[in-house]
Structure 1
């Protein structure tokens, strides 16, 4: 991350835990069967692409993410257990996210606030996302 104001701590092996928290907080309204139907076990962002939750998309999602009051948040990926805790995240922007569209392990990125009230998702798919979900 290039933003010097951010305090970024690597939290190795937290990816699985954070994906579980994400599922519970943002897809908990779906039964296990419904989750399987939309292949949520393959890609968490299918929650948005299959329209199983209210979310913002594309530029509107980016603007919503960048407007959020961010004190502390986590960043994790779809296929790796590497994760980051970002403190002093008030100025965290999309351009600061550690994202690599060409490496499948690091190509689907999830940002979630420490209270699990919102999440921002960038997918590896051109034309799908980014997505922003705000819990009501």
Structure 2
């Protein structure tokens, strides 16, 4: 069988939509007020750092991300509307992610599978994250 290769497609201006979808899928158990109280308007990943969802952290989060079936997933950011769609993504690793540590706009990054079953989040905070959430 032919091995499919990782394919990256830029999807400009999808950031707002994907951040909203992420909220619907992973934070809908919180009211809008509860989300505001944990500063989710600033950073979606506060859902994890404030322990408002069951999630894996640090090395456990990375391991869970690497073990996922990643047929298709999206990658988006907290502060910019650049986003990417990855197809044939089973080989996607941390090193492949378009994460720029020294750029404040690219260092709060979210990976979400196409079916919205899981998310992997990297943060600008060295003592927070990465985080991994698996929907039930």
TM range, normalised to the smaller chain?
A: over 0.9
1:128 aligns to 2:128 (yes or no): yes
Aligned length: 133
1:62 aligns to 2:73 (yes or no): no
1:16 aligns to 2:26 (yes or no): no
- Correspondence for 1:73: 73
Return the TM-score normalized by structure 2.
Answer: 0.96
Structure 2, unaligned stretches of length 5 or more?
none
- Correspondence for 2:31: 31
- Correspondence for 2:87: 87
Structure 1, unaligned stretches of length 5 or more?
none
| CA distance, structure 2, for counterparts of residue 7 and residue 86 of structure 1 | 6
| CA distance, structure 2, for counterparts of residue 98 and residue 28 of structure 1 | 27
Q: Which runs of 4+ in 1 moved over 2 A?
A: none
- Correspondence for 1:48: 48
Return the TM-score normalized by structure 1.
Answer: 0.96
